[in-house]
Amino acid sequence: MKLEITLLQILAVLFLPGAWTQSSTSALGAVVETKNITFPAGSKAVLPCHSPRMVWTQDRLKDRQRVVHWDMVRSSPEYSVERILDMSPGGRQRVYNGFNKGRVSVPDSAFNDGNFSLVIDNVVTTDKGVYTCNLHHHYCQIHQSIQIQLNVTKSVRKEKRYWDGERTVFVVLLGKSVVLPCVNRRSLWREGLQEDQQQVAHWDFQAPGVRQDRANRLVDLYASGERRDYGPLFAESKMSVEEDAFTVGDFSLSISDLKPVDRGLYSCHLHHHYCGLYERRIFRLTVAPSLPPPPPPASTTAPRIFQNDVPVPRTEEVEGPRVVNVILPEHRGYFVQHLGYFLATFLLLALVVVAIIVLTRRRKKRGLDYELRRSERGTVIVGGDVSLECTELRPCTQESLNSDYKNNLLKERDMTKECNKDLDGKMWK
């Protein structure tokens, strides 16, 4: 019984979050946390919602948070990694090899149009290798890498571009120019609006039986400090969120004086449009019966002193063991399982009955065949007038008067010969 309950709990933990979402995560954001929380009635509940990625730091040097750099890996004559150049919106391009200055570059408008392609003029043999375009956004914690392999040839017919299954391969004629593409036109690589307008957090509430698209909005929070309350819950201090939520990244919702009507699904939505962040945290709140009042403190009374100094015997009632019957609701899986057992048993019994019927019919058929063959043999013998003449065999009891025999053995042998001669004569007649 305990094992079945444990399995049911595991299945509930695995499948309930999928049922709570009630829609695809691609359209509603990634669900990063789901919890079942139970609080007694009348107490205060805190639904935790923390995200360090949403911390509002008023970073005025956000251009230094976006960086692009090109690296090259050579496998011959020995393995080596070389930094070609790097670039950020607040600075110039930095080329690390004097030979590449004026020959290798990235468009100056890279952080405006998202084109970070590497341009190489006058390709030489030493340019052969694997190039990596690395895009970093330290503030949004986003990293992206694109690999391209460059080969150099002296034959015009061998110049081509293809995909080898892992990366794009460019075969470039010696002395020509080549552009290694690295494009990222996502909005986070462009100059957008102010960040305080890009960060939003809100809480939704779903009563039991209500779909997510009809959930009630509780509050909207903006990084600029603006807050929009929906309903009188926040005005009456029934619910609250910390004022410095975007400073410390704590968007937890506090609910005081819990009542049965407060049970349901609470979801915390965190949006960061500048970083392309959208996270959801879902909590199923259950309100349990209120806790019983604490027992009064035991009174400290002086011990009673009896005249005979004999303590009164204690008569404490021993409470018998209590049996708690737990009735679990029938699940659809149990019905299907029992139905399968019933069908399997019925099929087995049907097979046994069919086998008995078939064997009985075969035995009856064999008995009928045997009787028919026997009757046919009797009919043929009677119709053909076949009769056998039985020769009477009479015992030879004639005893010769001649008793000139040496012993009884010779006499018996002689009598046997005479009887055989008489029998042979009758048979040949």
CA distance 72 to 82: 5
Mean pLDDT for the chain overall: 77
CA distance 150 to 162: 11
Is residue 101 pLDDT above 50, yes or no?
yes
Average pLDDT estimate for 384-388: 47
Q: Does residue 395 or residue 251 have the better pLDDT?
A: 251
| DSSP annotation of 402 | -
Is residue 152 pLDDT above 50, yes or no?
yes
CA distance 389 to 394: 15
Question: Cβ distance 184 to 270 under 8 Å?
Answer: no
Is residue 239 pLDDT above 80, yes or no?
yes
Is residue 98 pLDDT above 50, yes or no?
yes
Torsion of the alpha carbons at 354, 356, 361 and 364, rounded to the nearest 10? -170
Average pLDDT estimate for 3-30: 42
pLDDT value, residue 118: 95
77 cis-preceded (ω within 30 degrees of 0)? yes
Confidence of residue 105 (pLDDT cuts 50, 70, 90): very high
Confidence of residue 74 (pLDDT cuts 50, 70, 90): confident
Strands 277-288 and 30-40: parallel
pLDDT value, residue 429: 46
Q: Does residue 177 or residue 59 have the better pLDDT?
A: 177
Residue identified by tokens 């019927």 is 357
- Write the pLDDT tens digit of every residue in 353-383: 999 999 998 888 887 777 777 766 655 444 4
Residue type, 220: D
Residue type, 1: M
CA distance 23 to 30: 11
Could you tell me which of 191, 203, 219, 201 has the C-alpha nearest to residue 272?
201
CA distance 117 to 70: 9
- Write the pLDDT tens digit of every residue in 298-307: 655 555 555 5
Question: Cβ distance 364 to 356 under 8 Å?
Answer: no
* Residue ranges with strand state E in 165-315: 168-173, 178-180, 199-206, 216-222, 227-229, 239-240, 253-255, 264-272, 277-288
CB atoms within 10 A of CB 281: 21
Q: Does residue 216 or residue 409 have the better pLDDT?
A: 216
Is residue 115 pLDDT above 50, yes or no?
yes
Q: Does residue 146 or residue 55 have the better pLDDT?
A: 146
